Amino acid sequence: MTKVARLYEGTETAGKREAILNAALRLFTERGFHGTAMPSVAELAGVGAGTIYRYFESKEALVNTLYRDWKNFQITTILKDVPEETPLREQFRIYWNRLVEFAAEFPIAFGFLELHFHAPYLDEESRAMEERGHNALVSFFQHCLRQQIVKNLPPEMLGALVVGAYVGLVKASRAGCFQLTQEMIDQAEACCWEAIRR
């Protein structure tokens, strides 16, 4: 059983709701929001078409739940348990590895979050979650800036470059350009740090 499924397994409500969310995650990622028909979600989830509406008010509610849950999970997974006193260079390494691990362990969710970044059908709450991730990123680079260990550039720009490189790397590896070994991940991390370090 993959970890993908496990995000939606902990609760005792169990079963249908998780099946729907997992089916929707896959189909929305593969075909996009408007390209996915609700009956196809139901079929993949192994439930009746009407059943989805017992758990989610609408298709939009479904995609938003998915976005919030996964974005929240991603942020939590990446930020958890890093002692404040850890050197920032070391923190950078940790976050980088966690980002890559997240994409490796939850490839569909990674694709989903990428595809739905800033999508017009995301609601207030989903956007707030997006914002939360963004703030954590900016906050880290502000910290780096204060310690003068990175180039004197806007923290948003530093974040954009590093996260952009991360996304590019993962997408390219997923497109089959290369297989990501731990060595390559480490090398990429080194590249990114060198890109921004003072």
Partner DNA sequence: CATGAATGAGTTTTCATTCAT
Partner DNA sequence: GATGAATGAAAACTCATTCAT
Q: Is 65 in contact with 21 (CB distance < 8 Å)?
A: yes
Residue 33 sits in the site that holds a second copy (CB under 8 A): yes
| One-letter amino acid of 72 | N
Cβ proximity to DNA: between 61 and 165 the closer is 61
Cα 198 to Cα 191: distance, rounded to the nearest angstrom: 13
Nearer to a second copy, 73 or 193 (CB): 193
Contact of residue 53 among a second copy, DNA, none (CB under 5-8 Å per partner type): DNA
Would you list the DSSP string of 137-168? HHHHHHHHHHTT-B-SS-HHHHHHHHHHHHHH
Which of a second copy, DNA, none lies near 59, with the C-beta cut-off 5 to 8 A by kind? DNA
Q: With contacts defined by CB under 7 A, how many residues of the chain interact with DNA?
A: 19
CA 80 – CA 158 distance, rounded (Å): 22
Q: Which of residues 79-138 bind DNA (CB under 7 A)?
A: none
What Rg value do the Cα atoms of the chain yield, rounded?
18
- For the bound state, the minimum distance from the C-beta of residue 24 to DNA, rounded and expressed in Å, comes to 11
Residue 59 C-beta: closest distance to DNA, Å: 4
The full DSSP string for 21-90 is: HHHHHHHHHHH-STT--HHHHHHHHTS-GGGHHHH-SSHHHHHHHHHHHHHHHHHHHHHTT--TTS-HHH
Give the one residue of 25, 26, 29, 59 binding DNA; rule: CB under 7 A. Answer: 59
Question: Is residue 163 near a second copy by the rule CB under 8 A?
Answer: yes
Scan residues 39-58 and list those touching DNA (CB under 7 A).
39, 47-55, 58
Nearer to a second copy, 5 or 115 (CB): 115
Q: Which of 54, 72, 57, 67 is nearest to 24 (CA)?
A: 67
Residue 37 contacts DNA per CB under 7 A: yes
Contact of residue 164 among a second copy, DNA, none (CB under 5-8 Å per partner type): a second copy
Residue 23, judged by CB atoms within 10 A of its CB (0-12, 13-18, 19+), counts as buried
**Shortest distance (Å) from residue 111 CB to a second copy:** 10
Site for a second copy in 110-139 (CB under 8 A): 117-120, 134
Residues of this chain that bind DNA (CB under 7 A): 15-16, 34, 36-39, 47-55, 58-60
